[in-house]
Chain A
Amino acid sequence: MNEIALLIAATLASGTTLAMAGLGLLLNEKAGVLNLGAEGMMLVGALAGFGAAYASGNDWVAFAAGAAAGAVMAMVFGVLVIWLNTNQYATGLALTLFGGGLSAFVGTNFAGKTLGDRGSVGIPGLMDVPFLGPALFRQHPMTYIAIALMFALGWFLYRSRSGLVLRGVGESPESAHALGYRVRWIRLGAVMAGGALCGIAGAYLSVVRAPLWVEGVTAGSGWIALALTTFATWRPARVLLGAYLFGGVTMLQFYLQGEGVEIASQLLAMLPYLSTIVVLALISRNPTWIRINMPASLGRPFHPGS
């Protein structure tokens, strides 16, 4: 029983990274921009967060640093893709490669360093409730922030006028432009906000989940987060659901190892990636479903005045 509670807790914690990054990418994609640089932004955010936490000892400073780093990287991407109309896929890849290189390079200063004892976290009072306490209420605040963010994003996208404008831009930037909306600035805003969230996700990873710095600490989470938005058919609540599912699968490999299951650790480590592939295949099978939900201009360049 206790083990299941711990598994649930571990899933929530592990899924939070994917959730924050996934929600950030959702914002990007709702505006019609596909940012393949998620992994790069998360790495840079992880580095900035770790460095800030190391220097200041304060988690929130770390998250702010991660957000800023992610936003700056996203801004570079945004200017290239939105104003210079460079190929979105190639530029996103460039962002990932650059972010990876940059974080590895600057990170050599922190190689092997840890952040010291983190102390216990949780919601006082609720955290001692039997079973539910250890399962749900002993999380770092970021977990609860992610859930709140999901609600906030849902409200923003579907109940506010600004969200409607954003969805319009993602659906048809030409129409939005003809109506006088500043499509490029709106897209840049979405890209930078998405980048900030990816940066926070990275910082959460390096500061809270694995409080030591290692090159490539994200291990592909950025890519899984990209798969998440498709899996979630671009709806915030489903992004969260998918994040926890994948988080669960990631935790599963450790659980199985702990249980002494007779499969080599390397093969178990393949689980999150294989499951991503399987889920992608199942979800993408229905092209109509995708078409109805996908922002129509996703990935395509926008030329005002054409």
Chain B
Amino acid sequence: MFKLEARPQPSKAMSFASPLIALALTVGVAALLFVVLGKDPLVGLGAFFVEPLRGVRQLTEVALKATPLILCALGLAVCYRSNVWNIGAEGQFLLGAITAGGLALWVTTSGIHASRWVWTPLILLAGVAGGMAWAAIVALLRDRFNASEILVSLMLVYVAQQLVNYLVFVPWKDPMGFNFPQTKTFDSSTWLEMLVPRSRLHIGFAITLALVGVFWAFLFRSWRGYQLQVGGLAPAAARYAGFSARGALWTSMLISGGMAGLAGAMEAAGPLRQLTPHVSTGYGFTAIIVCFVGRLHPVGIVFSGLLLSMFLIGGELGQSRLGLPNALTGVFQGLLLFLLLACDTLINYRVRWQATRHVAVAKSAAPVTTKASP
């Protein structure tokens, strides 16, 4: 029988090893799945893990897709460490795209001329504001009405999706767009500057990496970061210490909303340059997985963000090369998270093999010699 035994101290080694073990197991299952589907497992795995890294162009694509994932995940890490369960990053992302896109549209249609260095900061800030505002609704309802942030943030995702649809189908529809649900293409002065020429990788990636450092410092060296995490680890201790639970709620929601909104703005002003109903391919949800696989740690999140970006690209490649449905990515992502959570148990518990005890059972009276004489 396997038995789980609590460790006196959480194991640092397992903290690092657990995501790697989970990844290895996922790869194993993936290979099996390919075989079951009648495809060559090596080609299949290659599409996910090797192809996306071939060449500078491909690498920039990986970095490009990783940008919104990492941004959202950084904000979510703060939330989850504070035990605030924001799962509506997708909705906050969309609102960021809407507000940033709205500003870009206005610039485009108003004809005011200014350089990118004027518009880009404003557009990105608009995105941050949009995401924060959407997240603020969640925080307010939790603060005032004690409503579950899980359910409210989730509901707001659906509302945000409908909002995007409405905007691109009705008021913001490009009158010259052949009735397709999409806005005008934004004026080039609103586009993000490219980081690597002749690629789609924009400066958002650099901003993201800088923010990784900021978040590391916030979580592990700042007083506020400490207070938030104590609130997540032991709420009674936080109350004892006098750390405000309400402050933790608002801080973490606004930070994660702002980051998701920033990601949305970067998507709109970066690769897309317009708004369509397909602004997000579920980045907000994938970011949740990125967050956990990255151990809720800013540096880990960079790695897991790149990894899951590879999954996303691999899914597309799998579709074009092997005829596998793109939805396969979703299966792998979910599987990775499951396996990670299972492997995480090993951080706090050891597995022990305990042979079932076989004790000689004498059903009748025990031999007199074993009894101590009265």
Q: Please state if A285 and B145 are interface contacts (CB–CB under 8 Å).
A: yes
The 8 Å CB contact of A264, one of B6, B154, B170, B285, is B170
With a CB–CB cut-off of 8 A, which chain A residues contact B337?
A: 90, 93-94, 97-98
Q: Please state if A91 and B155 are interface contacts (CB–CB under 8 Å).
A: no
With a CB–CB cut-off of 8 A, which chain B residues contact A270?
A: 158-159, 162-163
With a CB–CB cut-off of 8 A, which chain B residues contact A94?
A: 289, 334, 337-338, 341
Say if the beta carbon of A122 comes within 8 Å of chain B. Answer: no
CA distance A269 to B329 in the complex (A): 28
Say if the beta carbon of B325 comes within 8 Å of chain A. Answer: yes
Q: Please state if B342 and A80 are interface contacts (CB–CB under 8 Å).
A: yes
Given that A90-B341, A100-B330, A264-B169 are known contacts, is A284 also in contact with B150, CB under 8 Å in the complex? no
Least Cβ–Cβ distance between B274 and chain A, in angstroms: 18
* Contact indicator per residue, chain A 65-107, by CB within 8 Å of chain B (1) or not (0): 0000000000010001001111101110111011111101101
Q: Please state if B145 and A284 are interface contacts (CB–CB under 8 Å).
A: yes
Say if the beta carbon of A213 comes within 8 Å of chain B. Answer: no
With a CB–CB cut-off of 8 A, which chain A residues contact B6?
A: 303
* Contact indicator per residue, chain A 252-294, by CB within 8 Å of chain B (1) or not (0): 0000000000001011011001101100111011010010000
Say if the beta carbon of B327 comes within 8 Å of chain A. Answer: yes
Least Cβ–Cβ distance between B213 and chain A, in angstroms: 26
* Contact indicator per residue, chain B 60-89, by CB within 8 Å of chain A (1) or not (0): 000000000000000000000000010100
CA distance A213 to B341 in the complex (A): 31
CA distance A107 to B170 in the complex (A): 31
Q: Please state if A280 and B341 are interface contacts (CB–CB under 8 Å).
A: no
In the complex, what residue of chain B is closest to A290 when comparing beta carbons?
A: B146
Say if the beta carbon of B4 comes within 8 Å of chain A. Answer: yes
In the complex, what residue of chain B is closest to A105 when comparing beta carbons?
A: B327
Q: Please state if B341 and A277 are interface contacts (CB–CB under 8 Å).
A: no
Say if the beta carbon of B331 comes within 8 Å of chain A. Answer: yes
With a CB–CB cut-off of 8 A, which chain B residues contact A87?
A: 341
With a CB–CB cut-off of 8 A, which chain A residues contact B329?
A: 101
Complex interface: stretch among A25-33, A141-149, A169-177, A220-228: A220-228
In A105-129, the 8 Å CB interface with B consists of 105, 107-108
Say if the beta carbon of A59 comes within 8 Å of chain B. Answer: no
In A199-249, the 8 Å CB interface with B consists of 215, 219-220, 223-224, 226-227, 230
In B132-159, the 8 Å CB interface with A consists of 141, 144-148, 150-152, 154-156, 158-159
With a CB–CB cut-off of 8 A, which chain A residues contact B158?
A: 219-220, 270, 273
Q: Please state if A264 and B333 are interface contacts (CB–CB under 8 Å).
A: no
Q: Please state if A80 and B327 are interface contacts (CB–CB under 8 Å).
A: no
Say if the beta carbon of A36 comes within 8 Å of chain B. Answer: yes
The tally of CB-CB contacts under 8 A between chains A and B is: 142
Q: Please state if B327 and A98 are interface contacts (CB–CB under 8 Å).
A: no
CA distance A80 to B334 in the complex (A): 14
In the complex, what residue of chain A is closest to B170 when comparing beta carbons?
A: A264
With a CB–CB cut-off of 8 A, which chain A residues contact B332?
A: 101
Q: Please state if B334 and A220 are interface contacts (CB–CB under 8 Å).
A: no
Least Cβ–Cβ distance between A67 and chain B, in angstroms: 21
The 8 Å CB contact of B334, one of A99, A280, A290, is A99
Given that A89-B85, A94-B338, A274-B159 are known contacts, is A108 also in contact with B145, CB under 8 Å in the complex? no
Least Cβ–Cβ distance between B372 and chain A, in angstroms: 30
In the complex, what residue of chain A is closest to B339 when comparing beta carbons?
A: A94
With a CB–CB cut-off of 8 A, which chain B residues contact A36?
A: 150
* Contact indicator per residue, chain A 5-45, by CB within 8 Å of chain B (1) or not (0): 00000000000000000000000000000001000100000
In the complex, what residue of chain A is closest to B158 when comparing beta carbons?
A: A273
Say if the beta carbon of B267 comes within 8 Å of chain A. Answer: no
Given that A223-B151, A280-B141 are known contacts, is A86 also in contact with B335, CB under 8 Å in the complex? no
With a CB–CB cut-off of 8 A, which chain B residues contact A230?
A: 148, 151
Given that A108-B325, A280-B147 are known contacts, is A100 also in contact with B155, CB under 8 Å in the complex? no
The 8 Å CB contact of B327, one of A101, A223, A227, A290, is A101
CA distance A215 to B151 in the complex (A): 22
Given that A97-B285, A102-B331, A104-B327 are known contacts, is A90 also in contact with B292, CB under 8 Å in the complex? yes
With a CB–CB cut-off of 8 A, which chain A residues contact B165?
A: 266
Given that A94-B337, A266-B165 are known contacts, is A277 also in contact with B156, CB under 8 Å in the complex? yes
Q: Please state if A276 and B151 are interface contacts (CB–CB under 8 Å).
A: yes
Say if the beta carbon of B328 comes within 8 Å of chain A. Answer: yes
Say if the beta carbon of B345 comes within 8 Å of chain A. Answer: yes
CA distance A283 to B154 in the complex (A): 17
CA distance A219 to B151 in the complex (A): 14
With a CB–CB cut-off of 8 A, which chain B residues contact A105?
A: 325, 327-328, 330-331
With a CB–CB cut-off of 8 A, which chain B residues contact A269?
A: 162
Extra contacts besides A90-B341, A101-B332, A276-B155 (12): CB < 8 Å: A94-B289, A94-B337, A97-B333, A105-B330, A219-B158, A223-B155, A230-B148, A270-B158, A277-B141, A277-B155, A281-B147, A284-B148
A residues contacting B by CB (< 8 A) are 36, 40, 76, 80, 83-87, 89-91, 93-95, 97-102, 104-105, 107-108, 215, 219-220, 223-224, 226-227, 230, 264, 266-267, 269-270, 273-274, 276-277, 280-282, 284-285, 287, 290, 303
B residues contacting A by CB (< 8 A) are 4, 6, 85, 87, 141, 144-148, 150-152, 154-156, 158-159, 162-163, 165-166, 169-170, 285, 288-289, 292, 325, 327-335, 337-338, 341-342, 344-345, 349
Pick the 10 closest A-B CB pairs, nearest first.
A101-B330, A98-B334, A104-B327, A266-B166, A105-B327, A281-B145, A94-B337, A108-B325, A101-B331, A97-B334
